[in-house]
Amino acid sequence: MKISFASLALPKKGVLVFPVADDLAFSVNLQKLNDASDGAIIKAIEAASFKGKKGQTLDILGGVGEYDRIILLGTGNDEGCVDSESEVQNLGGKLFAALEKAKIKNAVVMLGEVVGGFSPDYVAAHLAYGAKLRSYVFHHYFTKKKDEDKPQLQEIDFHLTAHTEAASKYQTLESVASGVFLARDVVSEPPNVLYPESYAEKCKELKDLGVKVEVLNEKEMQKLGMGALLGVGQGSVQESRLVIMHYNGATQKTAQPIAFVGKGVTFDTGGISLKPAPNMEEMKYDMGGSGAVVGLMKALAGRKAKVNAIGVIGLVENMPDGNAQRPGDVVTSMSGQTIEIHNTDAEGRLVLADALWYTQQRFKPKFMIDLATLTGAIVVSLGNEYAGVFSNNDELAERIFSAGQHSGEKVWRFPLGKAYDKQIDSKIADMKNIGAGRGAGSITAAQFLQRFANDTAWAHLDIAGMAWEKKGLDTVPEGATGFGVRLLDRLVAEHYEN
């Protein structure tokens, strides 16, 4: 779908969209059309009981000059309905959904007024961004889909006075959307297509944006002593990989980098601790954390962010083979710390343990943030509304929370503490890979990871409830969400560029 911006002028025909607040005050151009059509727009509003509520739409077919349709998009009021950028983006998503449902191919959005206290150029850029995010589809494997069942909307053209400023703002947002789409793509791919080796090759495409990409194979990881990560993948015929992405965009090229680490279990059967069969096909998205990291690196490079950033993803496949890791095994991590395996389905923390240690030892970053679809316990706690955040640094945690509120990818902080940490002590090794009993499962998993962060400022995002959307949201179609890209891009833009 193409997004374009032009000067504020009424086209002679086609489909027009007008934002309307709940006071139903008309813009100059909308009033002109209403007068020229003998009040047809007012009559349609009264007949349909259109109130201008946030996201409400009214599709007026014919009866207004030469126009095919006039669509009114409710923006709500200025005191709470459209009070953040994510709310404007949600309106853009609703707009896209309405246009797509009506099978409209081209539409012009007339923005002559302030919406929710935001300037028209700001509104245009974020409406366009929301529409772009909602437009994502993953149709790679359909062979018999009819043309009428494919996406119809080809272009949205935003008309406003400050169209040049809107286009500039949108250019940055479009780069972030591109990163979100990459994250959604890799999470959506089936596991026979996206496995550690093919995923690593996919990451190399970022070189076109100036991102340096390194790939470590199993022999190289063995030399580094990554027994925790390698233990997870030893039951699979697919070899494990570690991918390191470097983006150097800071004004000072030697500036200390920031680092993002992702869990990339391309398929998770649970290993010997086998998962139940129902819904196991969804375990292709157990690499959602790594997808967010790869998508973020594309977003930062695409918009030329002024920061030095490192992305590290551990890629494994967890399978129940004759050579698979067993409950009761003891593995030695890159840190030298030993881990007793109590449950082979608690594998993501083993992958992250070596990836985190490698990252903080090699790059000495300002901070590390890891993302992982780590525990079912976080879904029990937060459902699909928030990701859980755990951190050893209050400032970092607070900044992540704030970025979540603004971006719409929300997080909620959980505690860490000695009592929780004690639960992962092992009787025969330095630690075990699960806590004691069913309680506090997300927290004990985070305590495990903290043991590999050392003194580096660190945060862990458990996104198990956020990586896959079953019903669809305003800016997130059903399926892979790309959660984390917008959140972390906002964090970087607000606090870490120079």
CA distance 349 to 438: 17
Question: What are the residue boundaries of the structural domains of the chain, listed by start?
Answer: 2-161, 185-495
pLDDT given at position 142: 94
Catalytic hit among 53, 275, 306, 366: 275
Strand 57-61, strand 2-6: pairing:
unpaired
Please identify, in words, the CATH class of the domain defined by 2-161: alpha beta
CA distance 349 to 170: 37
Find out if CATH 3.60.15.10 is the number for domain 185-495.
no
pLDDT given at position 78: 55
Residue 139, φ and ψ in degrees, nearest 5: -115, 25
Q: How many C-beta atoms surround the C-beta of residue 62 within 10 A?
A: 11
Instruction: Establish whether 13 is a catalytic residue.
Output: no
- Are residues 257 and 366 in contact, defined by beta-carbon separation less than 8 angstroms? yes
Q: How many C-beta atoms surround the C-beta of residue 490 within 10 A?
A: 23
pLDDT given at position 483: 98
Reading the block at residue 101, the tokens are 């449902």
10-residue averages of pLDDT along the chain (498 residues): 95 93 90 93 95 93 88 77 81 96 96 75 96 96 87 96 97 98 98 98 98 98 98 98 98 96 98 97 98 98 98 98 98 98 98 98 98 98 97 98 96 98 98 94 98 97 97 95 98 96
Instruction: Establish whether 451 is a catalytic residue.
Output: no
Catalytic hit among 132, 349, 399, 410: 349
pLDDT given at position 119: 87
**Which residues neighbour 58 within 8 Å (Cβ) at sequence distance 6 or greater?**
44, 45, 48, 50, 71, 72, 74
DSSP string, 111-143: --S-BTTB-HHHHHHHHHHHHHHHT----TT-S
CA distance 200 to 182: 14
Bridge partner residues of 216 (DSSP): 242
pLDDT given at position 80: 41
Bridge partner residues of 35 (DSSP): none
